[in-house]
Amino acid sequence: MHLATLVVLTGLVVGVYLTTRRKPPSLPLPPGPKPLPLIGNIHQAPKSHGWRTYQQWSKEYGPIVHVNMLGQHVIILSSTEVAHEILAKTGAAFSDRPRLFLATELALKGLNILMMNYTPQFRQHQRLHASVLNTTPAASYLPLQTLESRQLLHDLLNHASNPAGTDVQKYFQRTIASIIHTLLYGFRIADPEDPMLGELSRFNHEFSKFVQVGAHIVDMFPVLNNLPSFLAPWKEKAERHFQDKYALRRENFRRALEGETWNIAKHLKSLVQSDKIDMPMDELAFELGTIIDAALDGTADSLMWFVVACVTQDPEGTGFIARAREEIETVVGRERMPAPEDRGNLPYVSAIVEEVLRWRPVGPEGVPHLNKEEAAYNGYSIPANSVIVPNAWTISREESIFGPDADSFIPERWLVDADPTSDPDNDPQPKAQHKTLNKAMLTSVAGFGYGRRTCPGRHFARNVIWIVIAQLLWAFEIRPGIDEETGERIPVDPLACTYGLVMRSLPFKASFRPRGEWVRDALGGGDTFGVDLEGMLERIGAEVGKI
């Protein structure tokens, strides 16, 4: 046996033995499936779609579950209250990330804010993200988001109206990628077949696999990285991932700085230099790309789950689609498309957005946290350096909040009666049945994370998801594809999805038939690539510069 291999394997055995002989905590651990000696619960670890297993464990053991993975304590949280108490109210104590060696150190070289520990470096990155993604700057991007939504409608009108249906994922990905590239670098993406979109999709797919807790033996035993490359194939994969990703981000950053239009890359470079932030330009270039990752994974995938909801939960268009359309017809009419200014008067559309985010949280297992010190909760010990999993899938189905029908797509669950002191007869903007969003329920949306690790792009995401959904409902009859031989609808599995950090719907076909000629009239017949992009970006830059 190769000497290095023998040394590593010996260290592995000793490491497992020592980690399983740690001093027991002062309080009992949370309940969970019974572990085996030495290996703990590793034999029960889900091989895919862990959120299904976690949901079952929560039914058996309650909202806080403990499992032991080869000596590593893993705590799974499955209720809104527990997640907020442990992750949001404890400050920095639960704000670190577990050491996912493959993802964090090999594939990302410690440069991705999502996987950083709660350190000064993280807070610098967080500050930059907040400066361009908080509520106020996010509002300044609405004109661009509306423009790209209009382009999406144009693309669907011309390429997805066939009753047989079309796999439309590439059109939604182009839309979101174009918005974020325009903001970050100053250029739009016109072609859904652009090779860069394929590269971005590959990066996100690989990263989603790299970041899975418990999926890679090198995460539990980093000493294995000392093995020769032929025994450690993950090293080459991770290095290729980093080099390819870094090359693309560095080139786009260069292109942005040399361009004539305002863009976020220029804005943040200026902020780093003027505020003397300790961040090399190569690090800033890489970090900008993480915003693209999050937008494509979170926003584009949420929009695809909306389409899945349409074709599986309301294929006739007589349920939630009809109710939303009635609201839109009342408030907006047919002479123009819904706009961001209509949002306050379209509560049912807003309820659909929240229901999409709840029904299919794109990160169903959440992004894991790690606690620095031993803590206690409700009479249980949470040992130091435990991996804390916010089980977003089960939290999004909590019966006490969302009712017993949480697997169904029911936007009405988000609505309550509007303020009874208001006079609807004097309301110049009619609201459907004078309902409003139940704002108290919004804190139960698990998909954006908790505490100091809450997603900084949530305002950007909610804004564009709202615009696109409102305009799709206004413009199209969204139906399942039709089998051309049988004339029957092509079935779509509402749970068919990829496995990894992100829950992405598997390919399916849907038809987007325009509701009338007035849709073509409102779209103007042409695409949107002749607009004054430089002027739009200068106006956005002026607004962001005021913050």
State how far the Cα of 411 lies from the Cα of 451, in Å rounded to an integer: 26
CA dihedral (224, 226, 230, 234) in degrees, to 10, reads 60
SS3 255: helix
| Contact (Cβ atoms closer than 8 angstroms) between residue 422 and residue 378 | no
SS3 percent helix, strand, coil of the chain, rounded to 5, is 55, 10, 35
- Number of C-alpha atoms within 13 angstroms, CB side, residue 413? 26
State how far the Cα of 46 lies from the Cα of 389, in Å rounded to an integer: 14
- Supply 482's token pair: 């039709």
Which residue, among 364, 450, 367, 453, has the nearest Cα to 81 in the 3D structure?
450
- Beta partners for 382? 375
If you count them, how many residues does the chain have?
Answer: 547
455 annotated to a ligand binding site = yes
- Rounded to the nearest angstrom, the gap between the alpha carbon of residue 490 and the centroid of all alpha carbons in its chain is 28
Amino acid, res. 64: I
State how far the Cα of 527 lies from the Cα of 513, in Å rounded to an integer: 18
State how far the Cα of 76 lies from the Cα of 60, in Å rounded to an integer: 13
Binding residues for heme: 455
Annotated binding site: 455
